Amino acid sequence: MERAIAPTVPSAKSYSFRQLDAVALRASGAPETHGKSHADAPASANPEQRFDAVVIGAGQAGLSIGYHLARKGLRFVILDSNERVGDSWRHRWDSLRLFSPARFDGLAGMRFPAPPRYFPTKDEMADFLEAYVASFELPVRSGAKVDEVTRVDGHYVVVAGNTRYVAAHVVVAAASYQKPKIPDFAAELDPSIRQIHASRYRRPSQLNPGGLLVVGAGNSGAEIASELARTHQVWLAGRHPGHLPFKHGSALAYFIVLPNLFRVVFHRLLSVDTPIGRKARPDFITHGTPLIRLRPKDLDQAGVRRVSRVAGVERGQPVLEDGRRLDVSTIVWCTGFQAGLDWIKLPVFDASGRLDQHRGVVAGEPGLYVAGLAFQYSASSGMIHGVARDAERVADRIAARLRAPALRH
Ligand SMILES: Cc1cc2nc3c(=O)[nH]c(=O)nc-3n(C[C@H](O)[C@H](O)[C@H](O)COP(=O)(O)OP(=O)(O)OC[C@H]3O[C@@H](n4cnc5c(N)ncnc54)[C@H](O)[C@@H]3O)c2cc1C
């Protein structure tokens, strides 16, 4: 069943949302508690609240879980520390457009409201997530930062401010992007050098004039370096993560390369179930995907000087592995993130500090799940087009456990 709802994507006013089955969902008897009124009830009105499941994070991963839990008629709540759904996209840099065309940016039950070849802006993606919540009446509580997850008498206790949420199931959908990662030697840099992490970068005018070093040559680093090369002399330091050998946005890329890359390579071929996927996984987790929009020659044409990795600091300036010292006035750290999940007070992290999980099921903690991690199951797990499969599987597990509580996981 399809229904058009009022568009909220600002520069796509003429597109209507193709809501595939929200009406069917409501008709299936999803309980009242999933309505907005429940979501908007002041949390402090009841300092302890019980649910079948608590979902932490209202990005694409948490909302996808919510969609499937709602379809199964479960009582759940989605908590998010941001003020508005979509803010994790809104807070990214101003000029950011998705590398995935609209055709691959829909979520379960709703297509992205734009022509399939259109590359949405980050704000359009944010508005799409907000429209998704409204349309499926998902019970999101914004401004609810989870401070602690513990387990007491076989139930999880999720503390967010003054409120304790108690549930047999918790899904951590907080992504792998919470805490900026910057090398220790950054502290030795001359204080006159402006340092900023990619997560805080918005636009070129924030930065000092003069030479500028972008550290980290993955997708974010390459895109930010290419933008800054219009206003600054830019060096881009780091290992090249590989790139697609086709022009992004071309018909060849749209019709042949991207569908194969997203649907076949990232979604099926590179997974924990295939030898090639298991081999590629550590690199994907540490270094991200190959460059999707830009090729080295695009960077060269933009005037970006590609250099080796930064090895340390000498006399207050960054020094490269080849011994060169760069005289720069700004450094943009595109060096990635730590998961920032230390509020989970449970023994669920492996030796490298990562959540120990298989296909979203956290090891050793029955009822605890995760969604949207980088390469959680496949290379597509952390991307918009890949999150639905993992989310549905986790929601199925939760529903099965509720039907048969003796089930271990
Ligand atoms: C620059 C950039 C560009 C990208 N472009 C694309 C693209 O074009 N196509 C694509 O498919 N993918 C893209 N991705 C990858 C991915 O789709 C996005 O990172 C997406 O935002 C991940 O969604 P998520 O729901 O897993 O996490 P997020 O969107 O980060 O949502 C996690 C939510 O959890 C909340 N949260 C975290 N900790 C807590 C807590 N303690 N308590 C309560 N709430 C908490 C946060 O507030 C946040 O809202 C991009 C990623 C980046 C970084």
Provide the 10 A C-beta neighbour count for residue 275.
Answer: 7
In this prediction, what percent of the chain has a pLDDT beyond 70? 88
Instruction: Report the separation in Å between the CA atom of 60 and the middle of ligand 1, taken as the mean of its atom positions.
Output: 7
Instruction: Report the separation in Å between the CA atom of 177 and the middle of ligand 1, taken as the mean of its atom positions.
Output: 7
Evaluate whether 17-178+339-407 and 180-243+290-337 have a shared fold: yes
How confident is the model over 49-74, as a mean pLDDT?
Answer: 97
Nearest CA, atom 37, ligand 1: 174
- 358: tokens are 């298989």
Give 249's DSSP letter.
Answer: T
Nearest CA, atom 35, ligand 1: 57
Verify whether ligand 1 is closer than 6 Å to residue 261 (CB atom): no
Pairing of strands 337-338, 179-180: antiparallel
Verify whether ligand 1 is closer than 6 Å to residue 381 (CB atom): no
Q: Is residue 213's pLDDT more than 60?
A: yes
Spatial distance between the Cα atoms of 55 and 77, rounded to a whole number of angstroms: 6
Distances (CA, A) of 106 to 26, 232, 277, 391: 20, 36, 25, 14
Closest to 382 (Cα-Cα) out of 15, 22, 60:
60
pLDDT of residue 252: 86
pLDDT of residue 184: 95
Instruction: Report the separation in Å between the CA atom of 55 and the middle of ligand 1, taken as the mean of its atom positions.
Output: 14
| Mutation test residue for ligand 1: of 54, 55, 60, 92, the one with most atoms within 8 Å of CB | 60
pLDDT of residue 47: 85
Which of helix, strand or coil describes residue 166? strand
How confident is the model over 367-377, as a mean pLDDT?
Answer: 95
Q: Is residue 186's pLDDT more than 80?
A: yes
Distances (CA, A) of 379 to 288, 321, 386, 390: 9, 30, 8, 12
Closest to 206 (Cα-Cα) out of 311, 341, 95, 103:
95
CATH class of 17-178+339-407: alpha beta
DSSP string of 353-399, one letter each residue: S-B-EETTEETT-TTEEE-S-TTSSBTTTTSGGGHHHHHHHHHHHHH
CATH class of 180-243+290-337: alpha beta
Q: Is residue 23's pLDDT more than 60?
A: no
| Mutation test residue for ligand 1: of 54, 64, 79, 80, the one with most atoms within 8 Å of CB | 80
Tell me which residue has tokens 């071309």.
250
What tens digit of pLDDT does each residue of 280-298 get?
A: 999 888 877 889 889 999 9
Instruction: Report the separation in Å between the CA atom of 87 and the middle of ligand 1, taken as the mean of its atom positions.
Output: 9
Helices and strands in the chain: count of H runs, count of E runs:
11, 18
Choice among 25-39, 67-81, 241-255 with the minimum mean pLDDT = 25-39
Q: Where are the domains of the chain?
A: 17-178+339-407, 180-243+290-337
Instruction: Report the separation in Å between the CA atom of 316 and the middle of ligand 1, taken as the mean of its atom positions.
Output: 34
Give 324's DSSP letter.
Answer: P
- 110: tokens are 């709703």
Verify whether ligand 1 is closer than 6 Å to residue 106 (CB atom): no
Q: Is residue 34's pLDDT more than 80?
A: no
Q: What confidence category does residue 407 fall into, taking pLDDT thresholds of 50, 70 and 90?
A: low
Mean residue pLDDT across the chain: 87
Verify whether ligand 1 is closer than 6 Å to residue 79 (CB atom): yes
Instruction: Report the separation in Å between the CA atom of 56 and the middle of ligand 1, taken as the mean of its atom positions.
Output: 12
Is residue 331 within 8 Å of 213, Cβ to Cβ?
yes
